Amino acid sequence: MAARPIYMDYHATTPTDPRVVEAMLPYFTERFGNAGSIDHVYGAEAADAVKVARKQVAHIINAPAPEDIIFTSGATESNNIAILGVAEQYAGKGDHVITCATEHKAVLDTCKHLAATGKDVTVLPVDEYGIVDLEALESSITDRTVLISIMTANNEIGTIAPVAEIGKIAHDHGVLFHTDAAQAVGHIPMDVERIGIDLLSISGHKIYGPKGIGALYIRRRNPKVKLSPVVFGGGQERGYRSGTLNVPGIVGLGTAMEIAEKEMAEEEVRFRAWTTEMLEAFREAYPSVLLNGHPTQRLAHNLNVCLPGVESKALIHLLKDELSISSGSACTTTSVEPSHVLLSIGRTVKEAHSSVRFGLGRDIIDRQMQSCIESVILNISHIQKIK
Ligand SMILES: *Cc1c(COP(=O)(O)O)cnc(C)c1O
């Protein structure tokens, strides 16, 4: 069998860590119990496993208690539960929600739905690095504002938002703060207490856990956050997310968090060195290269560059047997639409179509990095020659 290409699209998804798979396996077979049926040992051992996982998830974001965490099917569902839940629950207080232009579609389209049902939605622009203007944010708050939803780290350009400042602004005005932290938790330190986060979305498969599992942190004190449920049924997860718990997935998510907590500091140093080296090599070979995103306030394992004059689809196609990279987020790669994130930071449509995203991850070794850099540079020059 031919060697598989090097995978460098870790923002789209990550492989499940073998240690996570191992922890999950017994919960498909001998420990298959329903965590809600605790009258017997089968249910009780499933409930115990969920309890451990809830603690592991709470710990990595410094949530005061495991009960602050509910399990969902992923960050998409967590974002929906948070945004729709606040909008309905606090409708008596106000009807205004604030977000920003570079959010994931799971936030933007949920807010679009709110707007279609008569709510007032402000979508703030971002600067050339993908950061919202804090003064514009503060002045967009009215006495009808109930929620600010701004992501912690961007899935395309890796920009990290000034979340502590945003949390402070929100709380100074008595507004709740939700953050989509699917790309942040397990990659950078997160602390819901220090940052002042009221609601936080997590995805399993962005951090070496399985797909189809996620979590939502819901603050229970200072202030106590209440949500109107969007899913009804058996009342699991404090009534916020009915449905039989995905015990193997939950065990996987918890294990993934425990591993990430131990390993993320070391990984960050390694990834930062590689992305820095890669950008320098590209600059040397192709001086007109532009970095998409913030030069320093960025995820260490992200590099998103614009190569003016090089069509990203052509480059990705030429590289396909050696390297799996993407031109943007998974949701936009099947369409010809340019990335809304790249347009928001001021890239032209042409520049957006000349951008590629590298997402590094746990399984990459130095030799693969070197071969990736060489292949990209070689294929850029191929493209230039045939033009
Ligand atoms: C992947 C991703 C999501 C969606 O998460 P799922 O768990 O796949 O539903 C939401 N927001 C961001 C920033 C993401 O990267």
Question: For 172-211, what is each residue's pLDDT tens digit?
Answer: 999 999 999 999 999 999 999 999 999 999 999 999 999 9
The pLDDT tens digits of the residues spanning 67-81 come to: 999 999 999 999 999
Is 3.40.640.10 the CATH number for 18-258? yes
With the most atoms of ligand 1 within 8 angstroms of its CB, the residue from 57, 73, 76 to mutate is 76
pLDDT band at 243 (very low <50, low <70, confident <90, very high): very high
pLDDT band at 270 (very low <50, low <70, confident <90, very high): very high
CATH superfamily of 6-13+263-386: Aspartate Aminotransferase, domain 1 (3.90.1150.10)
The pLDDT tens digits of the residues spanning 81-90 come to: 999 999 999 9
Mean of per-residue pLDDT scores for the chain: 96
What is the percent of the chain with per-residue pLDDT over 70, rounded to a whole number?
A: 97
Mean pLDDT of 212-234: 97
Active site residues: 331
- Measured in Å, residue 180 CA sits from the centre of ligand 1 at 8
- Measured in Å, residue 75 CA sits from the centre of ligand 1 at 5
Protein residues whose CB sits closer than 6 Å to any atom of ligand 1: 74-76, 104, 106, 151, 155, 180, 182-183, 203, 206, 214
Whether 259 shows a pLDDT value over 90: the answer reads: yes
With the most atoms of ligand 1 within 8 angstroms of its CB, the residue from 57, 77, 155 to mutate is 155
- Given this model, what pLDDT does residue 201 score? 98
Whether 1 shows a pLDDT value over 60: the answer reads: no
pLDDT band at 3 (very low <50, low <70, confident <90, very high): confident
Alpha-carbon distances, residue 327 vs 54, 134, 161, 310, 333 (angstroms):
35, 29, 22, 12, 7
Atom 12 in ligand 1: residue holding the nearest Cα: 182
Which of 103-112, 171-180, 279-288, 377-386 has the least mean pLDDT? 377-386
The pLDDT tens digits of the residues spanning 324-354 come to: 999 865 544 555 789 999 999 999 999 999 9
- Given this model, what pLDDT does residue 329 score? 54
Whether 2 shows a pLDDT value over 90: the answer reads: no
- Domain parsing of the chain, residue ranges: 6-13+263-386, 18-258
- Measured in Å, residue 184 CA sits from the centre of ligand 1 at 11
